[in-house]
Chain A
Amino acid sequence: MKKVLSILLVLVMAASLAACVTGKNGNSGNTVDNNSADNGGTANAPANTSEGGNTLTVWCWDPAFNIYAMQEAEKVYQKTNPDFKLNIIETPWEDVQTKITTAASSGDLSTLPDIFLMQDNAFQKNYINFPEVFTDLTDSGIDYDSFAQAKAAYSVIDGKNYGVPFDNGTGIDCLRTDILKQAGYTIDDFKDITWDRYIEIGKDVLAKTKMPLLSSQAGSPDLIMEMLQSCGQSLFKEDGSPNIVENQALTEAINVYTTMVKEGILVEVNDWDQYVGTFTNGTVAGTINGCWILASIQTAADQSGKWALTNVPSLKDISNATNYTNNGGSSWGISTNCKNVDLAVDFLSKTFAGSVEFYETILPSSGALATYLPAGKSEVYAQPSEFFGGQKVYADITEFAGKVPSNITGVYYYEARDAVGTAMTNVVSGADLESELKNAEDTVKFQMGQ
C-alpha cells in the first residue's frame, strides 16, 4: 500500500510540474486558438468587462495619480463627447499582470478591460508572451512624434506601437541646497558632471557635513539600471541575448556603486520605507531616482525651499554616455477585447496624446508629469516650484525627458535585473566582480532556457 501511495504521489507531482511547463510553452503557440476562443467566448460571458457603446473600462492603480489622471481625461473628452463614460477599476500593477496572464493563458480574453495601464519595463515582455492581448496602434492616428522617443520606445515591438506613453520616469538628481551650501557647493556644481566628479564632491560634502549624498535600497539595482540607460544600454543585446559579462557600462556602473558605498557617499538601507525615510528625515543630502520621487520628497513640508534638482551624472569613458536616464513609468494599452477600438483610440489621442490643457490640469494637483513634449512648453509647466526654491522643475524635467536614450528591455528584464542585483550585493560585500557577472549571466541564460 505504501509503495502504491508513494508512486501515486510522484505521479501527481510530475503531472502538476508537466502541466506548468506545457502551460508556459503553449502560450505563443496558442495565439490563433486564443483569438478564436475569445471571439466565440465573448457571446456567453456574462462577466465581460469591455462594455461597448460609449463606455470604456479601464484598469489602473493609484487613486492620487493614474486614476485621477484618467478621471480628468474623462472630463476633457466629455466636452466634445457628452455621453462618454469611463468605468475605472482600481487594480494594482501586480494584479493587472496576474489578470492578464490568467486571461491570456486560459484563452479567454473576455475579462480584459478596454484600456489598461502597464509598467514600461514589462511592456515588451507581455507583448512577446501574449501578443493576442494588444491592439496595434501604429496607424491609429496617435501622434507618437510628440512624445519623448525613449519613452515611446518602451511600447514599440518590431517597429509597431502598442501603447500610449503616460507616466514619466525621467531620472533626476535631487539635492539639499542648504547642506551643499555648508560644504561650499551649489546645485550648478552637479550639472552635466561625471560620476567621478560626483564621488569627488560627495567625499568633500561627507567630510564637511557628515552627510552622505545618496541612499539606496540594498540589493536593488535601480541606480545601476539608471546608469546603464544613460548610455542607451541595458542587460540585453539587440538579438535578445544577455549582455552582462562583456558589458563595459555595467562593469563601470557597479564599480561606481561599490566605490560610493565604500566611501560612505551612498548609504544602503533595507527597504523602500527606510529609503524614503532617509531624505524625509534629513539623514542624506539628496537622492537620484525617477522624477516620480518628487512626490515622496515633498511630503517633508519642513524642508520646503531647501531642495533643487538637476540632471544625473554620466559614466566616464563609455561611448554614448549622457546625463539623462529613466527609471520606471507606465503606458496605456488597448486590449483586443475592446469592442470600440475607434472610441478608445480617439479618447486617448484627444487626451493623453493630444491635450496640453489636460496635462495642465493634472500637473498641479497630482504632480503627474508628461512625456508629451508640447505640454512641457505650457505656462503651467513653467511655474516655479516653491519647494524647490523657485526652480521651474517641471519644465526642466520635461526637457530632460526629451534627451533620454532608449534601450532594450526584452522579455527577461526583471530576471536579469534580479541577477545583477545579487551580483551587485555580493561585489559590495567583497566578491570578485568578473565572476559575479559571469554567475549573473549564467543565471539569466538558465532562466531563458539557453
Chain B
Amino acid sequence: MRKLKRFLNYFVLTAVSLLSVFPLYWMAVSATNKSVDVIAGRLIPGTYLLENWKGLLQAQNVGSALINSFRNSIMLTLAGLLICSIAGYGFEIYHDKGKDTVMSILLLAMMVPFVATLIPLFQMFSKIGLLNSTLGFILPTISTPFLIMLFRQSARSFPHDIIEAARIDGLSEFGIFLRIFIPTMRSTYAAAMTIVFMNAWNNYLWPKVIMLSNEKITMPMMVANLLTGYVIDYGMVMLGVLVCTVPTVVIFSLLQKSFAEGITGAVK
C-alpha cells in the first residue's frame, strides 16, 4: 500500500515536471530546426542551429542587445538591493509607529499598476532628459515595496543583541549594516537579487517606451523585433528566445538554494 502511494506520488510529480520542462525543451530543440520544421512540430534536435544563429546575427544586433540588457540589469540589481535593504533594515531596526504607517502606505503603492504611472513617468523623464539612458531605465524600479518588505521581514529575525554588542564595541550605525547585517543576510540578498535581476532582464514596456534608438534595445525588445514580419522564421525566433532566457536560468540555478532560504527568511 505504501509502495503504491509512493509510486503514485512519483508518477504525478514526474508528469508535472515533464509538463513544466517541455516548453523549455521545445524552445531549445526548435532553435536547432528550420522554421518549416518548427511549424510542423518536430520534437527532435536538428542541424540548423548555425544557420539560425547566422540569420539572427544578420537580422539583429544581438551583441549590443546583450550588453545593454546586462548593463541595465546589473546596475538596477546593485542599486536596487542597496537601497531596498537599507530601507528594510531601517524600518525594522529603528522601529516606531510612524514607520509602520509609512510602511503600510508603501505597501498600498504595490496596488498601483505600472501602466497607470507610465504616462506621468514618461513626461517627467522626458523633461529632465533621462530618455534613452540607463539611469532612465533604473530609476522607476530602483526601490520596490516588495523588496523593502522582504528585507524588513528578514531583518526581523536578525538578532538585536549583535547590534547592541557592535555598538558597545564602537562600530558606527552604517558600519553595523555594512559589516554585520549584509554578510549575515546573504541568503536574503541572493533571493532579492534573483527577483530584481529577472524583473530587470525581462522588463519590456518601460525600456520600449524610453529607449528611442536602435543602439539601446534590450534582449526582450530584440525578440519582439523578430516577430514582426509577414514571414516569421520560428527557428531564429526560438534561438533568440533561448539566448534571452539563458542568463536568467543560469542566475537562478546558481542562487537556487539561497533563494529558497532567503524567501523563507532564514538566519544561520
Which residues of A are in contact with B by a Cβ distance under 8 Å?
5, 8-9, 12-13, 16, 19-20, 23, 41, 44-47, 49, 61-65, 88-90, 92-95, 98-99, 102-103, 105-108, 110-111, 273-274, 276-277, 280-281, 292-293, 295-296, 299-300
CB of B113 within 8 A of CB of A16, answer yes
Instruction: Determine which of B105, B205, B214 lies in contact with A90 in the assembled complex, contact meaning CB atoms within 8 Å.
Output: B214
| B24 interface residue per 8 A CB criterion | no
Chain B min CB distance to A5 (Å): 6
Could you list 5 A-B pairs, sorted by A, with CB under 8 Å? A8-B104, A9-B108, A63-B229, A98-B208, A108-B123
CB-CB under 8 A from A93, the residues of chain B are 228
CB-CB under 8 A from A47, the residues of chain B are 126, 129, 131-132, 212
CB of A61 within 8 A of CB of B214, answer no
In the assembled complex, the Cα of A44 lies from the Cα of B35 at a distance in Å of: 47
CB-CB under 8 A from A49, the residues of chain B are 212-213
**Nearest chain A residue, comparing its CB with the CB of B58:** A63
Instruction: Determine which of B104, B105, B118, B231 lies in contact with A299 in the assembled complex, contact meaning CB atoms within 8 Å.
Output: B231
| B93 interface residue per 8 A CB criterion | no
Interface size on B, residues (CB 8 A): 38
CB of A277 within 8 A of CB of B227, answer no
CB of A41 within 8 A of CB of B127, answer yes
Contacts beyond the supplied A16-B113, A111-B131: 8 A-B pairs with Cβ under 8 Å: A45-B127, A46-B129, A61-B229, A62-B230, A88-B214, A99-B209, A277-B40, A295-B231
CB of A20 within 8 A of CB of B122, answer no
CB-CB under 8 A from A296, the residues of chain B are 230-231
CB of A300 within 8 A of CB of B228, answer no
Given contacts A8-B105, A273-B39, A90 and B225 within 8 Å (CB-CB): yes
Given contacts A8-B104, A65-B230, A98-B205, A92 and B127 within 8 Å (CB-CB): no
In the assembled complex, the Cα of A335 lies from the Cα of B93 at a distance in Å of: 54
Chain B min CB distance to A367 (Å): 8
CB of A61 within 8 A of CB of B225, answer yes
| B137 interface residue per 8 A CB criterion | no
CB of B230 within 8 A of CB of A102, answer no
Given contacts A61-B225, A93-B228, A108-B126, A102 and B116 within 8 Å (CB-CB): no
CB-CB under 8 A from B35, the residues of chain A are 299
Given contacts A8-B105, A62-B230, A292-B230, A280 and B36 within 8 Å (CB-CB): yes
CB of B123 within 8 A of CB of A13, answer no
CB of B119 within 8 A of CB of A23, answer yes
**Nearest chain B residue, comparing its CB with the CB of A64:** B229
In the assembled complex, the Cα of A62 lies from the Cα of B123 at a distance in Å of: 29
CB-CB under 8 A from B201, the residues of chain A are none
CB-CB under 8 A from B108, the residues of chain A are 5, 8-9, 12
Instruction: Determine which of B113, B212, B213, B234 lies in contact with A273 in the assembled complex, contact meaning CB atoms within 8 Å.
Output: B234
CB-CB under 8 A from B127, the residues of chain A are 41, 44-45, 108
Instruction: Determine which of A20, A64, A98, A106 lies in contact with B126 in the assembled complex, contact meaning CB atoms within 8 Å.
Output: A106
CB of A102 within 8 A of CB of B209, answer yes
CB of A102 within 8 A of CB of B118, answer yes
CB-CB under 8 A from B217, the residues of chain A are 90
CB of A41 within 8 A of CB of B225, answer no
Q: Using an 8 Å CB-CB cutoff, how does the interface string of B224-241 with A read, 1 for contact, 0 for none? A: 110111110010000000
Q: Using an 8 Å CB-CB cutoff, how does the interface string of B202-222 with A read, 1 for contact, 0 for none? A: 000100110011100100000
Given contacts A47-B132, A61-B228, A89 and B214 within 8 Å (CB-CB): yes
CB-CB under 8 A from B23, the residues of chain A are none
CB-CB under 8 A from A108, the residues of chain B are 122-123, 126-127
Given contacts A16-B113, A62-B228, A106-B120, A45 and B39 within 8 Å (CB-CB): no
Q: Using an 8 Å CB-CB cutoff, how does the interface string of B114-140 with A read, 1 for contact, 0 for none? A: 001011101100110101100000000
| B67 interface residue per 8 A CB criterion | no
In the assembled complex, the Cα of A281 lies from the Cα of B208 at a distance in Å of: 36
In the assembled complex, the Cα of A276 lies from the Cα of B224 at a distance in Å of: 20
Chain B min CB distance to A291 (Å): 10
CB-CB under 8 A from A280, the residues of chain B are 36, 39
| B165 interface residue per 8 A CB criterion | no
In the assembled complex, the Cα of A9 lies from the Cα of B120 at a distance in Å of: 21
CB of A95 within 8 A of CB of B208, answer yes
Chain A min CB distance to B25 (Å): 18
CB-CB under 8 A from A293, the residues of chain B are 230
In the assembled complex, the Cα of A110 lies from the Cα of B105 at a distance in Å of: 35
In the assembled complex, the Cα of A110 lies from the Cα of B210 at a distance in Å of: 12
CB of B229 within 8 A of CB of A277, answer no
In the assembled complex, the Cα of A90 lies from the Cα of B205 at a distance in Å of: 16
CB-CB under 8 A from B40, the residues of chain A are 277, 281
Instruction: Determine which of B39, B122, B131, B212 lies in contact with A281 in the assembled complex, contact meaning CB atoms within 8 Å.
Output: B39
CB of B229 within 8 A of CB of A102, answer no
| B111 interface residue per 8 A CB criterion | yes
CB-CB under 8 A from B229, the residues of chain A are 61-65
CB-CB under 8 A from A95, the residues of chain B are 208, 224
